[in-house]
Structure 1
Amino acid sequence: MVKLVEIEDDAVFDDDSQYTTDDEENESVASLSEKEEEDEDENESDFDFEDDEDDEDFEETFLERIQALKDIIPLEKRRAFSSAMSSISYWGTFGMHLAGKLSWVFTTSALLVVFPLALESDREKMMMQWESEQGGAGEGAIGGQQPMLGGGGVMPPPGIASSAPGIVA
């Protein structure tokens, strides 16, 4: 360690005159004592700063602290913790794969079964509404026959097929 020593300059005492008064002498002595106190304060703060630098050399990272726990925690406990974490990881991965496969099955089933069923239900509702607009489904037709798809008790002329919206003949 390097020790700094301040060399006092004699220029402080040199004036134009050879003689100094008591007041000037007291002021110069007081200014010197103030400088010495400031130097001591600076030296103390330098010493505190040096301690901080020494602490920085010994600071550990978080990873280094975790690695140091190897010496504290017994081997059996570390193995038990490691196996528990491996088991949790395995079951979590398995669960995520299973959830993905099940969601694929439900989505494709909905698209292949439920969506066409909903379309057919909508067509049936449209057909029932169309029949009710034509004059009432279920009333007997002329001659005791059931009305054809056209409904309303009126038979279409021969050779013309009756059709409703959404029904393909």
Structure 2
Amino acid sequence: MVKVEIVEERDQDATNSPYLSPSSSRTSSSVSLSSVGSEPDGEETFYDRLRALVDIVPPTTRHKISSRVANAAGFFKSGGKLVGNLVWIVTTSALLVGLPLALSLEDEAKIVAQEKEMLAQQQGAQQMMAPSMYPAPPGSQPSQNQQKGIVPPGF
């Protein structure tokens, strides 16, 4: 059987040693274990941790991953360029062809509306000049000096 005995050093030279702590030697081992924590360093970033993983991944796997990422980035870049060109073609075509066409259709609609209005005004003037199609109501005596259809100027 083994007997464990705690020995305290009382030598003066040992107290000047940089490896001794002010606490007793019995608690120094537990203090040193508790001081070693698993918490990450406050200054270490996520990017630093990823960079440290480079040594874990074999070079062939790293090459495969980087080539696949580069291929995917190239695919998205060329696809985005193609979509951008198509959008440019559609918008310039709409501006060069569609806008003048829409403006001319709007002008033609205005002209048609003006023609209808003028036709309605002409028909209204003809109805005012023509004798009334309806007979005079019974009991009323039409007077000859009563004027019909006088429109003040400016109307």
Give me the TM-score of the superposition, normalised by structure 2: 0.49
State the TM-score, normalized to the length of structure 1: 0.45
Q: Which has the higher helix share?
A: 1
